[in-house]
Structure 1
Amino acid sequence: MSLVMIVSIENLWIDGPYGRIPVRVYTPADESRAGLVWAHGGAFFGGDLDMPESDWVARQLADRGITVVAVDYRLAPTLDWATGATGDQAGRFHYPVASEEVTTAFTWAVSVHPAQRWAIGGASAGGTLTAGAALRLRDNDRPPPAAVLLAYPLLHAALPELPAELAAKVATLPNPELIGAEAVSRMNLNYVRSPETLTASYAFPGGHDLTGLPPTFILNADIDPLRASGQQYGAELAAAGVDLAMIRETGTSHGHLNEPDNPAATRSVSRMARWLLSLSDATDTDGG
């Protein structure tokens, strides 16, 4: 695939429910063929617009003809992975702040470029946020995304049991306990603060009513405990009648989109772009 030059990268601030939200807009030089509002990962308490999972991914997608709005949502309090202790809370926010900010960014993109077909997506914790935003948009009679794009996402409040095949692969990781079920539970509680909120569908959509959602693409990392969540969510989407494409990127671990020099990262971005563009092209062919 030949790539085009990015014509512009623009840093903006948009109005949000908790103050202004920084966004970064990546615009292709040629006519944009699709749009994506994108949220980086970082366990809800880390990450920014400059990390590869945000900036490099957005540049790659824009090079392939997709306008990207990357969202710098407000982060949760810091967390010590080993002990579960919460750290700095100054300027930090629990659910639903980040979820509502991602939703706001999508609504803003649609209002500014109404002719563009907009998808919503994210990686890891960003996938959690965007999957929840898709439900929020569905339930509140707001313009829905044309598609949902999730990269190695976490969709459940508790990590589903790992299949034997996946458990054997995860056991080969240097510190599998740091991204195992207990660590995931600590991270999720740190995000929502209240145990009762773990059941909120907009916080963790897995296990809730998924009917009426738009076509969804799930990119799972191969050697990643969170693949159990992605796979289960895919099964739930299929049972709800949602059009689904789900792949496993062989040999990869969680967060590989943060590794621009990893050929698998480029393969994953290419898969994401092809899927988004195929939906857009199909809609154009159908006259939509």
Structure 2
Amino acid sequence: MPIHPAVAAKLPLLDGVPSFEALVTDPAFRDRMVQFMTPSAGGPPPAVKTREETAAGVRVRVYSADEGAGPCLVWLHGGAFKMGDLDMPEADWVAREVVTRAGATVVSVDYRLAIPYPAPHDDVVTAVRWVRDALAPSRIVLGGASAGGNLAAGAALRLRDDDGWVPAELALVYPVLHPELPPASASLTRRMAEVPPILHFPPEEVRTITEDFLGGPVNRADGYAMPGLAVLEGLCPTLLLTAEYDDLRPSGEKFAAALALAGVDVHHVQIPSMLHGFLGLPSAIEPVDRALRLLAAAVAG
């Protein structure tokens, strides 16, 4: 399927920009950056109640529709383990949408950034234990996008092994789960030719991101840092959403296959016409709405 028109219309803004970092940081590209990041469809996300909390030393933001012990999503934004915050759409908009759609609580975790593993992993494990023990919701789903998907899966594995407990479900969206990317299929390679180079994740860039996260070479990764290396038996049911136009898609696909081989109930859905990071787009865009419906359904149970 072609790249969604709402996305494709903005790609010419990237012509001549040497890198995504330059788009974000170079004043020469500021106007283009603002246009590229400004949603072209839909209105603001739903208004819901929020409060700031400290979960055993980890900052979290709690979004809720009503007080009570209903289902809860513990949510982790992406950003290559070094960027992002609780206010970015992939964190804030997603939380508000899930609260509204699932009648749930969402706890968005402000895990440490640009500090090597296991620091962010430990923050997530701590936050999930706090939700489980202090908030005591009826159902806990642990989820995240991109680097957040990695941290969600790693935390679920740690909780399985250390606590003998797993969340009711994992929800992983365009995650990276392997220290080095599995090879891309010919069809994915053809699709990625339509995407501007600065929106690619070439293997050498992924390796650098992984080395920064690990604080050393990729061969030091264990199964908690890179869940694609882990023993997966006994993990909870998993919803895994990948983007059609995403260099990281092979990691999600390989992980879904490994989950199935390990006897884990896995529901893998490829979201058509979307690029990596699509949860930062408004729900008025149909494929984004579909992804949010799947995510909310997993939370509601």
Give the TM-score range, shorter chain.
0.7 to 0.9
1:152–1:219: 8 Å Cα contact kept in structure 2?
yes
- Determine the structure 1 residue equivalent to 2:226: 204
* Residue segments in structure 2 that go unaligned for 5+ positions in a row: 1-45
RMSD, aligned α-carbons: 1.8
Single out whichever of 160-169 and 39-48 deviates more from structure 2: 160-169
SS at match of 1:206: helix
Deviations 1:8-43 (A, max 9, x none): 21111222xxxx221000112386642111000001
8 A contact 1:36–1:66 mirrored in 2: yes
Counterparts of 2:281 and 2:185 in 1: how far apart (Å)?
Answer: 27
1:53 aligns with 2:75: no
Could you tell me which residue of structure 1 aligns to residue 269 of structure 2? 247
Relative to the length of structure 2, the TM-score reads: 0.80
1:134 Cα deviation from its structure 2 partner: 0.7
Aligned length: 254
Match of 1:14 in 2: 55
Residue type of the partner of 1:150? L
Q: Distance in 1 between matches of 2:190 and 2:170?
A: 30
1:272-283 equivalences in 2 (<5 Å): 272-277=295-300, 280=301
Confirm whether residue 66 of structure 1 aligns to residue 104 of structure 2: yes
Indicate yes or no: 2:287 matched with 1:264: yes
1:34 aligns with 2:71: yes
Correspondence for 2:118: 96
- Which structure dedicates a bigger proportion of its chain to helix? 2
Residues 6 and 29, structure 1, Cα contact 8 Å, conserved in 2: no
Q: Is the 8 A contact 1:6 1:26 kept in 2?
A: no
Is the aligned partner of 1:106 residue 2:133? no
Unaligned runs of 5+ in 1: 77-92, 281-288
- Identity in percent: 42
Q: CA deviation at 1:168?
A: 1.0
Per-residue CA deviations over 1:110-142 (Å, capped at 9, x if unaligned) read 011224211111000000001100110011025
**How far apart are 1:98 and its partner, in Å?**
0.3
Cα 1:264–1:31 change in 2 (3 A) is farther
Query: Which structure has the higher relative contact order (CA within 8 Å, separation 6+)?
Result: 2
1:214 aligns with 2:236: yes
Question: Per the alignment, in what secondary structure is the counterpart of residue 53 of structure 1?
Answer: helix
* Aligned residues of 2:224 and 2:230 also touching (Cα < 8 A): no
Alignment of 1:67-146 (within 5 A): 67-76=105-114, 93-146=115-168
Q: In structure 2, do the counterparts of structure 1 residues 259 and 202 end up closer, same or farther at CA, with 3 Å as the change threshold?
A: same
